[in-house]
Structure 1
Amino acid sequence: MTGAITAGVDGTDESRAALDWAAREAVRRSLPLRVVHAWEFQPAVPSEVAGFEAQQGWAVKALEGAVRAVTERHPELAVTSDVLEGPAVRTLLEAAAGSELLVLGSRGHGRLVGFLVGSVGQQVIVEATRPVVLVRAGDEASAEAAGRDIVVGQHGEPEDSAEVLRFAFETAAARGATVRAVRAWTLPPVFAYSPGSLKLLDGAGGLEPFERQALTDALEPWRERFPHVPVVEHVEIGSAGQVLLSVAADHAQLLVVGRRAHRTAVGARIGSVAHGVLHHAGCPVAVVPHT
């Protein structure tokens, strides 16, 4: 897909950080940048103070200021902008659908706390068909130039994480970075063992060698497709979310995780691993939908 990189802005510090991140990524990938401001008329505001036209004018002014700032920093970048009137979740999802990826800002309180994902951001992540990147206020380009890696979580069979690995390798290739692929594993309960699984484990030499080989197999097609991207394999026993956060704290300029939306009686939600890293990672997080 060769769409634009889309950034959602609303005048906040976190959305400005997201726009800066999106602009740098668009330059790296030689893609256009689309800047959108999603707004919805607030009839509760007294009309004599701020009617429809006044509120629309505020959105236009905020967008124009953001676009002016980014074009001054990146004069070579092709930039388009749109003010989208309607519910924020719906309009952002529509903007994301035709994009390479969507970049949003998220509040945060220091590297140890991570993101505070609002209801709009979480709903967009759950429903988006394209990757969504969350960037905190205070994120700086220096973190991308410090030799840090693209950390990506891999799980299951190779096809389970193909889209996640694709995104990680494409991002690393554009940045000249290393992919650090992480596979976490835990001891299965006794009743999960079967003659077939025991035979597989015996052939691999045990649980940990089996997990290492599974990661190597999942990475093989992407190593072949991106031969110039350095790769580090990391296999560790423990909770997937905790292992990813630990590795990311030491190595990541970007953390990439997959998302398979789960439907419940009270609505859709993201999985526990994506939820955990979104709330505790100290770097930008890319959430990639997969089947």
Structure 2
Amino acid sequence: MLTFLRSPRTIDALLVAVAFIWGTSYGVVKGALLSYSVLGLLALRFGLTFVLLSPALGALSRVRWRDRLGVLGAGVLLLGIFLAETFGVSLTRASNAAFLISLCVVFTPLVEWAWLRRAPRALEWGAAGVSMAGAFLLTGGHFAAGAGDWLVVLAALLRALTSCAVKRAMHAGAVPPLAVTAVQAGVVAVGCAALALTVAPAQWQPLPAWHGHAAFWWSVIWLVAGCTLFAFFVQNYAMSRSSPTRVALLMGSEPVFGALFALVWLGERLTLAAWVGGLLIVAASVLALERAPRTAARASASA
């Protein structure tokens, strides 16, 4: 079983599954926010995740303080991602946000090169460019910079930084993926709750009752089980056995799944340009499936 999970192809398939799950999250979150506030929903989602994963924190007792601080830093970056992305989307058009968050596919090779000293392969640069072009077409090719746009750009940059921070913290298997996910969830939950209680008290609201709000609670269950527990574990596990750039490229198909989910679930229509853009993003993910030279692959698997 462990051999199966360590297979590069299995990891690639799991990352594509995460891209699909995160693609559905936009519509699910949109529905949940009809019943609850942004900070309250984030605190609830990640608070439940932290409680479920709290037993995994025991592994940190065998980890150096330097590595613990690295994991904590990754959690702070994740908090920044969700705050910048969520409030950025509220201040800009959804099409702008979808395009700009995809910039993490372009930022990640640059951050990995500067921080981890791993120069991306030419194929990875090409895949990043194709993915960016596809995201631009998928959103109609319209962009006008505003405060919300810059917040989403910040979220994309923080995504790239978080990928490299997790990779660095988990070097040589020092920190288990479940422990990393637990710490990240705890930091986001505490951060959002603290902001709601101090800076934005209107965001701290009583939880909706199950009766009359069953759809909200089913949304929370999906966000916790699929979009957080499964997705972040897979992402962190993949980061320990692959490069941040490769992980980002395989996750680049997320906007396509989001568009398909909106088409099937919400009845939204896509233009021809959007379909072409989606196919380009899929093509970029297929390019990313091309394995690195065997020596590099072995080095990545042993990292």
TM-score range (shorter-chain normalised) is under 0.3
- Compute the TM-score of the two structures, normalised by the length of structure 2: 0.23
Give 1 or 2 for the bigger CA radius of gyration.
1
Larger proportion of strand: 1
Larger proportion of helix: 2
- Compute the TM-score of the two structures, normalised by the length of structure 1: 0.24
- Structure scoring higher RCO (CA < 8 A, sep ≥ 6) equals 2
